[in-house]
Amino acid sequence: MTAHILDRPAWATLNGRQADVAVRHGPAIRMRPEYGLFAAIPDESPEALAAVGELVREMGPVGFVELAAPPPIPGSEVVSSAVCLQMVAETVAPAWDVPFEMLPLGDADAAEMLALATLTKPGPFFARTHQLGAFIGVRVEGQLVAMAGERMRPDGYTEASGVCVHPHHRGKGYAARLLREVTAGILARGDKAFLHSYADNATAIGLYESLGYRGRREVVFTVVRAL
């Protein structure tokens, strides 16, 4: 059976529409560390594993999103490994009125975006992650308190990511409405939207389902660093 492109989203992304943010070492490939952790190899050969090990040693930790965790990588150790539910949306819930404005975010907001992501930990987020796709946010009295945006873009799909809300501003509907808007923007461009949730996070999965996402399959997110 032919593999689905989302079975290996990082491999498809870094060899496709986001090849401009990729670094290669032999057969291994990774996202430049200022953009993200994602890495991939074409197979589990000793050559490929050694090559990605060199990328880890030279450029820092990497993250694999695959159907299974990778074999041991020379000179590296596993930091974390978690099962995630990969979800896809081909339609999105209708928009609803909210008492706040959603603003486009860009380079001028980069420092605040990184600070918010560092505080709330929505997933790996670095100095230039915001340049991987469109981001929007909510400001309260000038302070960025919520955001959502796009990350990996394998052909035909765009990943919704970076959804986070400042702890002092939760419970106001920011996350749901921002994610709904990001998803609608992806679909309007002709892509399907996808995202990843920790498989045991029933609350998040329920929210995503309410917006139109449906579970596709489980994947494993493994972070590896140099010894």
Domain range annotation of the chain: 5-85, 87-217
**Which SS3 state, helix, strand or coil, does residue 208 take?**
helix
Cβ(85)–Cβ(195) under 8 Å?
no
Q: What confidence tens digit (pLDDT) does each residue in 31-90 have? A: 999 999 999 999 999 999 999 999 999 999 999 999 999 999 999 999 999 999 999 999
Q: Which CATH class is domain 87-217?
A: alpha beta
Rg from Cα positions in the chain = 17
What pLDDT, on the 0 to 100 scale, is given for residue 181? 98
Q: Characterise 180 by phi-psi region: left (phi > 0), alpha (psi -120 to 50), beta (else).
A: alpha
Residue 2 has pLDDT above 90, yes or no: no
Topology agreement, domain 5-85 and domain 87-217: yes
Closest CA to 39 of 18, 63, 16, 57: 63
How far apart are the C-alpha atoms of 106 and 56, rounded to whole Å? 29
The pair of structure tokens assigned to 166 is 């400042």
Residue 144 has pLDDT above 80, yes or no: yes
Beta strands, E only, 1-75: 22-25, 28-31, 39-40, 62-66
Q: According to CATH, what is the number of the domain 5-85?
A: 3.40.630.30
